Every structure is written in C-alpha cells, then in structure tokens.
C-alpha cells in the first residue's frame, strides 16, 4: 500500500479542522458569568465568586490558604516574596523550566542557580541539587512539566535537611496527585496558573497555595496598596469555579487518551523515536502538554521543529518545548553547577502536544498516530522539500 502523502507535501490533513479550541465555549462558564452579571456583583473587588473560589481551592487541595493573583508568574514572584527571598540570596531551579520562573528570581533581587535535568522525563535532576546548595541558597523552585511528576517526598526531605524552602510549580498539572497528595501542596508554597491556554483558564490569572500564615501575611503587606496590586477579578473567579468542579473528570478523560496513545504504540517499536513523558509510578498526572522525547534519526534526520511543523500541517498542535534557560540568558545572570548538557539539547529533543486534542477522548489516538506514521514514512521526502524551500528563499 502506498501511504497517503503528508499534508506538508500536499496531502490531506488527518485533522482538517485543526486543533480543537480551548477553552472555547464552555456552557457552564457562560452560565456562571450570566448569573454573576444578573446578580450585579460582577464588578465587586472581592465578590462572592472570589471568596468562594478561594474556599473551593483550599478544600480541593486541603490547604489553609489559597490566594488569587493576576497570573501564575505573579504568583511565583509572590511565593518568593512571601518566603522573604531577596538580595544576594540564591534560588535553585531546573535549566529546563518556564522562563518566568527564572525572571521572577531576578525580580526579587536573588540569583538563579541552574541544575540539569535527568534524561528520561526532563525533570530536575535531584542528584545535582546537593551540588547546587551553598550558604546563600534559600529556596528551590521545582516544576512538574509536560505531564511528568517530580519525587516531591524526596525533594521535601532534601530541602528540610538543608533548611531550604520549596516552591512547587503545579501550573501544568492542576489536580494531579503525587504520592496521593495534590500537586502544589507539597512545598512551602504551591503555584497554579489560570492563563488562557491552561487546564483551568480565566484567560489570565494564578493562585498561591500554602499552609504558612507568615507567607500570606507578608504578601498582603506587599500587594495591598490602597487596592490590590496583583488582583484576579470577580469575573475571572466566576469563570474558574465550574472548571474546578470539572477538573478531575477532564483530567481522567485526557489520561485515557494518553493511555490509548501508549497502548497503540507511541514510544515503542516504529514509534520509539517519539517517547511520551511519564509520571512517576503511582502518581496521577494531568496533561496540559504531553511531553514527547524526539529522536531525529527515527525520522530521517528531520529536526524536532521540522517534524512539529509537519504535524501542525496535519492539524495537530505540536510545538517545540522550552529553550534551555542557559541559552536565553547571559551567564552573568546565573550560576550553574555544570555545563547542563542534557537541557542544552532541548530544542532538538523536546516536543509538546497541546492538551485540547486529549479531551476528545481515546478515539482520537488512532488518527493522531496515523499523522505521525504518515510523516515518519515520508520523512526523507519532507526533509528534501524543506531543504529545497530553504535553498530557494
Ligand atoms: C503557564 C506557566 C506558568 C505561569 O504562567 P502565567 O501565564 O503567568 O499564568 C508558570 N510555570 C509554568 C510551568 C507554566 O506552564
């Protein structure tokens, strides 16, 4: 059988309608927003939805405090400020992490210290933490990325031994359970994002989770300037409440799709060149992005970016992961424990599948693998076409 040509070579895309919209039209959100407007409380600084969302986030996570902010990035900054991290102090984080986390450390006057990732799931390499710690180290930011989960019990043990605070970035895995406990509740402070693409979306927004009264009190003094300086609005809070109710169910559906992708062979055999990130055994993850470890040699030398472009032509929202932090910041801005060789290859190795397609359910797994397989079979022709195109331009 002659395989169908990939869309990037003029064939028809496997998903002609492209990636599903997110958050798109969620009827339960339309309803709660209409109620808020009808009640006249939608313009309140601290309205009923704001207060209730705080309580619901506390109950969902079983923590004493949930504080709402204007973004996840602001919430990470407030985590650092709440822990009183400042001038001349050091904060350890992974060289493969969200850019804003690095910048938040600089924002409070502290110095980022980068450690590398382990090569399986690109999670922070815990063996390197010990090398990173000095007299100046105050905290570590650890981030569950692309569906992988971190060994939070080990991280918290290490931090306690070295008298470090832990900031747990759960922006990509809201609702996940790590060793039975919700992501974002292990560290001194946990952070969620409600950005426009996130699993809980208010277009913008974030939250800080903590059991520490002192963190909340310090942040109150910082953000209360006659009015709240980093606020989440009543309307945003209203939009989030029904999504929080639906989160476990939606996480379960996305998980079923990921399970089906694995069962149908993603990451093994002919598709060993595209290996999905794995949560730790016993953890229940959440999938904001499905991380995939890409092996160019399995696709006739197509670069990760070229492969992703070919997949997007098929209507699949696949993108390169983060740039390694050491590649986008001047060496003067950070300290590193070594040359960070694993994370340095992020552009060639990490791809991320955006989550909306996972919510379509397990039946979407087969067509998704068909798109991958089309490109794999015609990879040499795709490469040739891209080389030709770049020579012409
Ligand atoms: C989205 C995200 C954030 C925060 O993002 P905001 O857009 O500022 O809400 C922080 N960390 C990670 C890992 C993220 O994915």
For 374, the token pair is 């089309």
Mean pLDDT for the chain overall: 97
Indicate the SS3 state at residue 370: helix
Q: Is pLDDT above 70 for 2?
A: no
Rounded (10°) angle between helices 27-39 and 48-61 = 140
Q: Which of 76, 102, 195, 201 to mutate to test the pocket of ligand 1 (most atoms within 8 A of CB)?
A: 195
pLDDT digits (tens, 9 = 90+) for 255-306: 999 999 999 999 999 999 999 999 999 999 999 999 999 999 999 999 999 9
Contact 148, 154 (CB under 8 A): no
Q: Is 169 in the pocket of ligand 1 (CB under 6 A)?
A: yes
Q: Ligand 1 mean position to 293 CA, how many Å?
A: 21
Q: Is pLDDT above 70 for 380?
A: yes
Q: Ligand 1 mean position to 188 CA, how many Å?
A: 18
Cross-strand pairs, 289:
354
pLDDT digits (tens, 9 = 90+) for 101-146: 999 999 999 999 999 999 999 999 999 999 999 999 999 999 999 9
CA distance 34 to 311: 38
Q: Which atom of ligand 1 is nearest to the CA of 197?
A: 1
pLDDT digits (tens, 9 = 90+) for 224-252: 999 999 999 999 999 999 999 999 999 99
Handedness of CA 288, 293, 298, 304 (dihedral sign): positive
Q: Is 251 in the pocket of ligand 1 (CB under 6 A)?
A: no
Q: Ligand 1 mean position to 55 CA, how many Å?
A: 22
Q: pTM higher than 0.85 for the full model?
A: yes
């Amino acid at each position: 059988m002659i395989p169908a040509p990939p869309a990037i070579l003029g064939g028809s895309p496997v998903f002609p309608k492209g990636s599903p919209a997110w958050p798109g039209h969620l009827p339960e959100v339309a309803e709660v927003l209409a109620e808020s407007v009808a009640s006249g409380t939608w313009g309140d600084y601290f309205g009923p939805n704001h207060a209730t969302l705080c309580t619901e986030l506390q109950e969902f996570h079983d923590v004493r405090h949930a504080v709402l902010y204007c973004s996840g990035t602001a919430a990470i900054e407030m985590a650092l400020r709440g822990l009183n991290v400042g001038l001349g102090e050091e904060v350890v984080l992974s060289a493969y992490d969200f850019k804003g986390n690095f910048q938040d450390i600089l924002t409070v006057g502290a110095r980022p210290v980068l450690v590398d990732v382990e090569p399986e799931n690109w999670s922070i390499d815990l063996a390197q933490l010990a090398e990173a710690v000095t007299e100046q180290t105050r905290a570590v930011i650890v981030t569950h990325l692309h569906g992988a989960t971190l060994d939070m019990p080990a991280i918290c043990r290490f931090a306690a031994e070295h008298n470090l605070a832990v900031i747990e970035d759960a922006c990509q895995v809201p609702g996940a359970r790590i060793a039975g406990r919700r992501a974002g509740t292990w560290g001194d402070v946990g952070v969620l994002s409600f950005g426009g693409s996130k699993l809980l979306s208010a277009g913008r927004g974030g939250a800080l989770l903590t059991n520490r009264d002192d963190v909340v009190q310090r942040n109150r003094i910082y953000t209360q300037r006659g009015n709240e300086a980093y606020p989440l609005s009543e309307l945003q809070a209203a939009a989030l409440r029904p999504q929080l109710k639906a989160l476990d169910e939606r996480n379960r559906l996305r998980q079923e799709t990921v399970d089906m992708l694995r069962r149908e062979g993603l990451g093994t055999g002919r598709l060993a060149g595209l290996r999905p990130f794995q949560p730790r055994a016993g953890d229940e993850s959440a999938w904001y992005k499905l991380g995939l470890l890409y092996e160019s040699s399995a696709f006739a030398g197509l670069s990760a970016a070229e492969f992703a472009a070919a997949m997007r032509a098929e209507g699949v929202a696949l993108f390169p992961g983060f740039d390694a932090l050491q590649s986008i910041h001047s060496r003067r801005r950070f300290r590193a424990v070594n040359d960070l060789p694993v994370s340095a290859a992020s552009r060639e190795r990490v791809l991320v599948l955006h989550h909306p397609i996972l919510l379509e359910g397990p039946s979407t797994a087969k067509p998704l693998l068909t798109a991958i397989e089309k490109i794999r079979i015609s990879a040499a022709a795709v490469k040739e076409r891209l080389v030709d195109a770049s020579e012409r331009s």
